[in-house]
Structure 1
Amino acid sequence: MKNPWLHLNYDLESGSLDISHEDAAIRNAQIGLQIDGEWICLDGPADDWVETGFKDEVGDGWEITSLHRLGGVHVKPRIRLYRERPSVTLCLTIENNGEDSIRIGRVHALEVSTRRGGRLELGGMISSARIFLESNNLCWTGVRPISEAGGRHRSGGVGVIYNPAVKIAFLTGFLTVNVALGEIVTLYDHMSGIAGWWAENPYDDLVLRPGEALRTELLYIDFRRDPLDALETYGDMLAKMNNIRRIPRSRTPMLWCSWYSHRLTITEEAVLKHADIIAERFKEYGVDLLQIDFGWNWRDTPGEWRPHPERFPHGLRWLADRLKEKGLKLGLWIAPFYIGEQSSFYREHPECLLRNPSTGRAVEYRWAWSGQSRDTWQNVALMDTSKPESQRWLKETFKRLSSWGVSYFKLDFLNGGSAAPLAFAKPGAENEYRVREGEQMRIGLSAIREAVGRDAYLLGCNLPISHGLGLLSAIFGAEDVGNATGNFEHLKRRMTTLISRFWQQKRLWHVDPDVLYLGGRFLKPGEVSSIGEARIRATAVALSGGPVLLGDDLTTLPEERMRMYTLCLPPYGVPARPIDLFRSPYPSVWDLEVSADWDVWHVVGLFNFDGQERIIDLDFDELGLSSDGEYSVWEFWDQAFLGNHRGKIKVEVPGRTAMALAIRRLRRHPFVISTSFHITQGGVELQRVMWDERSLVLSGVCRRVRGAAGEIFIYIPPSYRLEEQREAEMLTGEIARLRLSIPSPEVKWKIRFSHS
């Protein structure tokens, strides 16, 4: 089978699979699986096969299905080659047609081993290749040289090997997570190159009784020139295969979160004070929700989801009503699968606690937080979500919370719903509930989603993130951002993870960047971070394309930092692309294409987390700009004109800060080069900007909240000069500034020029 990009050959005698691309190939790949502890490779003749056409959610093409009889077990590989894509999918159906139960362990949907004559060929100079690794949780996700970590790499759900020498990206990833969490494993050594590679589903001795069948997770294989394009295409495939609709730009939450500013000191009085500030300062930007984090529930006890009587004496329904009077909504943090030993559910439903099959004891962790009263320190057990009583309790709990007026839920510690009993079992122990990690997690999330409805917002935190596909509205994009303490290594690591998931943003869900925190240490009123750290945090949140969460104590935050929030509001709602993801030690160039009704330009975030100045060479062709064109460059934070450039620009980025460049095509007449209102520099706040050559007038509309003030910066070519007028002045020989005060949400402006 072949299409314009790939040639696929499946040898029915040896069971080997070859997939050839112009500059890459998989040679003599095999399918293997573990049944009752024995490893079996499908390297013998197929007992039967059929070739036909197919059409699925993403396209059509050719399909071959073969049958391998292993005694009473029938294994049916199904391989599909798409007609209009450089892509292949593969899955197995394992049928137990025998008289006894069998156990399915690891399944290699496809593997390449040099010891068995297999080869993964990705062109010459493979030692320069870089590999994308997805943790599938809050831990580091990003790209590293393939030779690092001893050459052994394990990636959750999806992996990409990119060889820059021949510009070929090899992506493999699983499109379903019905039962098992797929992993992509790559082995490299400097002598033989890629010595081994496989795509694995760990089923942990899943029991198949007589007459039962298992369909493995669907593996996707793709060859492309651009690794970023490969990731984005994989995101599109995931969305289509899981019936996930793309989220519109306009649907991007804006809210205040209590955790970093208050932690367990949060009270209804503090919430109402912040509601007043939100209503006065930020509501017109679109901030309309206050999310109370851990600290609102009875005795800080997971599983006891009723208000803390001292901190919230009037209850949360009363509080939601007070917020509603101000045009605001209430959101809540909750750890739905953790059950504290001081809770009534723990006492009344011991049968619903997840237990170690070897000992019969509940699986428990210690729950003791700084600021938490010692008499509330306790163990927390994990809920067994497969129990009908657990599902009933989850539904009742979330229906009650919804009845209070809550429609935004931050679901934390969801890994508690993902611990399968067999993770603790002795080899061969029976799995009483016959669920794997994915099923356990999804059973619980499905019960919650059913209770709150499709319109409620569910943010998932601390979970194998692919388990939330189709059920969660958002995932927590990286480890906690933390209070601002000058820990730039931490910021580098978590911002790398955040932007490495750009391809998920709005395709699968919102990737939540965590709060925008501009203050200083916890409980240090009025203290602020360094200006460089604040710029890093604000630029990253704005360019992530995700929700914007205000995270400070707004009653003490200095005015300069309050205004800094507005530079990210409302969010543009489109993620930047980390164009140096596959070549730099960490992604430091984040490119956002901004499209308005009057122009298209690029906003490029340049990040330097290190202590020394860094020089970044920015090639315009990497932004999709013409190499022959001339472009004007403006830096947002320092309001500096960096000149007109062709092909590229060399930028000196000071240590431990971020820059935000607006790059616009140079024109022969005066044009807007930037504004001070928003980090997109015109993408959110300016509309209907027009140049009239007959009257020599540049005009437009500025949309901001009442009382705002700022500047619009204009580039003036040598053949024009600014006419004298109020509120407009020359800054340099090329740049003019128009000062604007905003008495109403929409202000018309114009500037007159003459020929010089």
Structure 2
Amino acid sequence: MKLKNPASFLAFLFLSLAWLFCPSCAPKLLEDHGWKISVDQQKETLKIEHESTGVILENAALASPSNEILGKWKIEVSPSKLTITTHSPQESTWTLVTTENQLQISSSLPGSILRGTAPAGEERIPARTAEEDNGIMFTSLGFVSARNIHSLFDIPTNTMIKFSSSSLLERNQANRRQMKVQIKLAPETSLSIIPDYYQNVLGLKYYQPRPQRFITAPAGWCSWYCYYMGTTEEDMIRETNALAELLKPYGLEFVQLDACYTRGEEANYLEWNKEAFPRGGKWLFQYIREKGLKPGLWINVYGSNYARPECAEKYPENFYLRDKEGKLSGACCTADDTVVRLDYSNPEVIEKHLKPMFSILKNDWGLSYLKDAGWGTWMDYYDQNREQAFDSSRGSRELYVDVQKAVRSTLGDDVYITGCAMHEVGLCFGLFDGSRTGGDDKAVWHPERERGMSMQTFFHSLFGANYLNNIVWFCDPDVVMVRNPLTYEEGQTIVSAIALTGQTYLASDFMDKLPPRKLELYRKTMPTTPIVPIDLYPFRILKNKKDGVVWCCPQVKEFPRALDLKVYGVNGDYDVLALFNWKDEASEAGFTLEELGLASNQEYHVFDFWKQEYEGTIKGKYTTSLPAHGTKVLIIRAVDSLPQILSTSRHITSAVSLQDVHWNQEEQRLKGSSTVVKGDPYSLFLWVPPELKMTKAEANAEVLFSRQEENGLVEVKFSGDLPEAETLLEWEIFFTPAGKAK
């Protein structure tokens, strides 16, 4: 007989003999209630696993209250219980008891510590649950951690892993995809898991992780809140020109035409109203693409023009859904009632109407973004008139999803689809890239009448559904607007909130008419970034369910007093904190470092992003005054002994432009690279310790000026015009000991 793998066989034989003659060397194992606890007696460490998530904690050591490692273990395993007795340098007895979804851990030494490492990569994220709410909403960008985060959420398995509130989770600096975990026992604590978290705890009917077709939510422009049903080709040309010039360089990508273009019996989704769009949709799409932007379109796929359908001279009568009196019904939200509801219980409607139409829009026209509209009202109408359907055995939800599957398969993975199924959340998880989460807003702060539209609708959607964003889809709270009568301060609040949550960012302003100051609000908050929520619960929810299931259009009791984006990037760890004033008059606002999960005994820099001013350092707490409806965005960073970049002038997160930052201790030089917008000056804001003084700055673009203030702030401003064929601003800033500076 010939061994296929002699090396593996010899290794197995060696281990078997070792365990035979050295029983204490054999690994100990407890498996019960889905838990698996392995003991490495040579290293004297534990590995804790669960059947739903795999490894939860590994290389776990036992430590005394003074954090001294306890060794010389003696192991006993019994059903549902593992006992470890330590003999050096202190004697102690530890027990680990498994129960359903919980592991109870205790020690005979009160205050003992279990410490190890926990996998915490892109798919297992830091999380907080509703009982930890403190009025501040937390989000993350990169591999972050904080002292007030005690849980990890495993996205693929929909499982919450909860460590005790006395635990400390800190990123492993040698491997940021791991957490260094310390669990302090008092004297007993528990490690628990919550399976099917989004359903069992939050009340969703469905759960599916977001498909990775797109890295970030879209940034674009929507015609609706500027022109409504009166949009014309001329309007779209003017806005496309303005967007290409004013916002495309800053990250805006999509230009989306909303409902308006199917008005009249001669118009449909492929043949547009000739009075408003004389050259048609295909021509407009081409024009948008020629300007370097991506065309998007509003379509209610559950309707078609009865008199002039898209893909035939006349559709069969059984293509249409009728009521009990045999009458046709207008499809929701279209320009007029010439577009009527289709009967998708007839499979021919998908094959001979839907797929051919979207094939033309994608392959012939170049559709890049679909606003998949209709508010889900087709399902309601179908349920009311199901007896008249072609195949009444089919259910409304089943058919709705079949339609979306056909749309996705026809458009492929490179077209972004924003859904508008305003019913039970999650009906089309996996098919939609994003979805509207609430009603229409309007460019006013408060509604002009009871239950009227305003930016309050936007905030309810944004804060009430943020726990879904970039987990199951990208949330769309509706459009961003900053034009009058909204004040500049209100505009700051609106763009800060959308930028620090990473939700869908579609503007709907007349861009060429905006004052430069308001245009800057867009420029400094685009593009979107791959932000993930930390707070995995609907913020202070008042209403978001129907019959116990999460539905559209959340209403929150109150908006958060602050929004804290925790960032880790090439510039290290820092917080971007938006302090809000929701009151109608000026008011005080503030926070403590402990509330942000930062070290209360540590000193932190504070930089005002919107004012681009350094406020000095804080320790413990911070207070300020905010105007009515206003926001202050602070970049908060732990003080170091070396020069530190506090912010850039480019983007609110300070994470968009910086590509590399490196300090050379020997040469006393800070070197890095940044992406810049052509023609737009770019500033770096640094803090320099008093022992150093900046001597000069060099770059592959003109250094417009540099200044150093007495409080340690240094600003270096560069031209945005790079040499031909170069794509990055390469910069260097030189320092010398303060006493030697000339």
Shift of 1:459: 0.9
Q: How far apart are the structure 1 equivalents of 2:52 and 2:616?
A: 51
Query: Aligned pair in 2 of structure 1 residues 331, 234: CA closer, same or farther (>3 Å)?
Result: farther
Moved more, 638-647 or 463-472: 638-647
Q: Indicate yes or no: 2:190 matched with 1:245.
A: no
Query: Quick one: which amino acid aligns to residue 591 of structure 1?
Result: D
The answer for unaligned runs of 5 or more in structure 1 is 6-53, 61-81, 88-128, 133-141, 145-166, 177-222, 522-528
Q: How far apart are the structure 2 equivalents of 1:585 and 1:328?
A: 38
Of the three residues 639, 664, 681, the one matched with 1:692 is: 664
Of the three residues 503, 506, 510, the one matched with 2:474 is: 510
Could you tell me which residue of structure 2 aligns to residue 586 of structure 1? 559
Query: Aligned pair in 2 of structure 1 residues 59, 477: CA closer, same or farther (>3 Å)?
Result: farther
- Is 2:298–2:372's contact at 8 Å kept on the other side of the alignment? yes
Q: Indicate yes or no: 2:349 matched with 1:384.
A: no
Could you tell me which residue of structure 1 aligns to residue 89 of structure 2? none
Could you tell me which residue of structure 1 aligns to residue 426 of structure 2? 466
Could you tell me which residue of structure 2 aligns to residue 550 of structure 1? 507
Secondary structure of the equivalent of 1:677?
coil
Shift of 1:582: 4.6
Q: Indicate yes or no: 2:580 matched with 1:607.
A: yes
Cα-to-partner distance string for 1:117-167 (whole Å, 9 max, x where unaligned)? xxxxxxxxxxxx9799xxxxxxxxx999xxxxxxxxxxxxxxxxxxxxxx9
Secondary structure of the equivalent of 1:306?
coil
Q: Indicate yes or no: 2:731 matched with 1:749.
A: yes
Q: Indicate yes or no: 2:256 matched with 1:291.
A: yes
Query: Quick one: which amino acid aligns to residue 719 of structure 1?
Result: E
Identity of counterpart residues, as a percentage?
Answer: 23
- Is 1:676–1:710's contact at 8 Å kept on the other side of the alignment? yes
Q: TM-score, normalised by structure 1?
A: 0.62
Q: How far apart are the structure 1 equivalents of 2:211 and 2:191?
A: 25
Could you tell me which residue of structure 2 aligns to residue 121 of structure 1? none
Shift of 1:368: 8.4
Secondary structure of the equivalent of 1:418?
helix
Could you tell me which residue of structure 2 aligns to residue 324 of structure 1? 289
Q: Indicate yes or no: 2:247 matched with 1:282.
A: yes
Shift of 1:442: 0.6
Secondary structure of the equivalent of 2:376?
helix
Shift of 1:656: 0.3
Query: Quick one: which amino acid aligns to residue 581 of structure 1?
Result: F
Shift of 1:282: 3.3
Q: How far apart are the structure 2 equivalents of 1:226 and 1:268?
A: 55
Could you tell me which residue of structure 2 aligns to residue 534 of structure 1? 491
The answer for unaligned runs of 5 or more in structure 2 is 1-31, 37-49, 57-97, 104-128, 136-148, 159-189, 542-556, 698-703
Q: How far apart are the structure 2 equivalents of 1:628 and 1:664?
A: 14
Secondary structure of the equivalent of 1:419?
helix
- Is 2:446–2:456's contact at 8 Å kept on the other side of the alignment? no
Superposition map of 1:93-492 within 5 A: 242=208, 244-246=210-212, 249=215, 251-299=216-264, 305-339=270-304, 344=309, 348-356=315-323, 359-362=324-327, 364=329, 377-378=336-337, 381-392=340-351, 393-402=353-362, 403-419=364-380, 421-423=382-384, 433-464=392-423, 465-484=425-444, 487=447, 490-492=454-456
Moved more, 607-616 or 632-641: 607-616
Q: Indicate yes or no: 2:604 matched with 1:626.
A: no
- Is 1:417–1:440's contact at 8 Å kept on the other side of the alignment? no
Q: How far apart are the structure 2 equivalents of 1:600 and 1:232?
A: 33
Cα-to-partner distance string for 1:608-664 (whole Å, 9 max, x where unaligned)? 222133444424344443333221122211223333223443343332012221111
- Is 1:339–1:381's contact at 8 Å kept on the other side of the alignment? yes
Query: Aligned pair in 2 of structure 1 residues 332, 304: CA closer, same or farther (>3 Å)?
Result: closer
Shift of 1:226: 12
Query: Aligned pair in 2 of structure 1 residues 577, 731: CA closer, same or farther (>3 Å)?
Result: farther
Secondary structure of the equivalent of 2:247?
helix
Shift of 1:594: 1.8
Shift of 1:312: 1.8
Could you tell me which residue of structure 2 aligns to residue 115 of structure 1? none
Higher relative contact order (CA 8 A, sep 6+): 2
Q: How far apart are the structure 2 equivalents of 1:336 and 1:536?
A: 35
Secondary structure of the equivalent of 1:310?
coil
Cα-to-partner distance string for 1:550-601 (whole Å, 9 max, x where unaligned)? 3222232222222322101222221454699359832232221222223121
Q: How far apart are the structure 2 equivalents of 1:678 and 1:607?
A: 19
Secondary structure of the equivalent of 1:533?
helix
* Aligned-residue CA RMSD (Å): 4.5
Could you tell me which residue of structure 1 aligns to residue 678 of structure 2? 706
Secondary structure of the equivalent of 1:727?
strand
Could you tell me which residue of structure 2 aligns to residue 67 of structure 1? none
Q: Paired residues, what number? A: 545
Q: How far apart are the structure 2 equivalents of 1:252 and 1:421?
A: 32
- Is 2:101–2:192's contact at 8 Å kept on the other side of the alignment? no
Q: How far apart are the structure 2 equivalents of 1:351 and 1:338?
A: 13
Query: Quick one: which amino acid aligns to residue 748 of structure 1?
Result: E
Q: How far apart are the structure 2 equivalents of 1:168 and 1:277?
A: 47
- Is 1:302–1:335's contact at 8 Å kept on the other side of the alignment? no
Cα-to-partner distance string for 1:666-721 (whole Å, 9 max, x where unaligned)? 112321112222101x2111232233343333332231111011432222333334
Query: Aligned pair in 2 of structure 1 residues 585, 226: CA closer, same or farther (>3 Å)?
Result: farther
Secondary structure of the equivalent of 1:544?
coil
- Is 2:333–2:374's contact at 8 Å kept on the other side of the alignment? no
- Is 1:545–1:572's contact at 8 Å kept on the other side of the alignment? yes
Shift of 1:306: 2.0
Query: Aligned pair in 2 of structure 1 residues 672, 501: CA closer, same or farther (>3 Å)?
Result: same
Q: How far apart are the structure 2 equivalents of 1:507 and 1:443?
A: 23
Query: Aligned pair in 2 of structure 1 residues 59, 693: CA closer, same or farther (>3 Å)?
Result: closer
Query: Aligned pair in 2 of structure 1 residues 324, 592: CA closer, same or farther (>3 Å)?
Result: same
Could you tell me which residue of structure 2 aligns to residue 125 of structure 1? none
Query: Aligned pair in 2 of structure 1 residues 722, 344: CA closer, same or farther (>3 Å)?
Result: closer
Query: Quick one: which amino acid aligns to residue 755 of structure 1?
Result: A
Q: How far apart are the structure 1 equivalents of 2:193 and 2:608?
A: 28
- Is 1:362–1:381's contact at 8 Å kept on the other side of the alignment? no
Q: How far apart are the structure 2 equivalents of 1:245 and 1:84?
A: 31
Q: TM-score, normalised by structure 2?
A: 0.64
Q: How far apart are the structure 2 equivalents of 1:355 and 1:715?
A: 69
Of the three residues 494, 498, 521, the one matched with 2:462 is: 498
Cα-to-partner distance string for 1:73-101 (whole Å, 9 max, x where unaligned)? xxxxxxxxx999669xxxxxxxxxxxxxx
Q: Indicate yes or no: 2:528 matched with 1:571.
A: yes
Q: How far apart are the structure 2 equivalents of 1:3 and 1:614?
A: 52
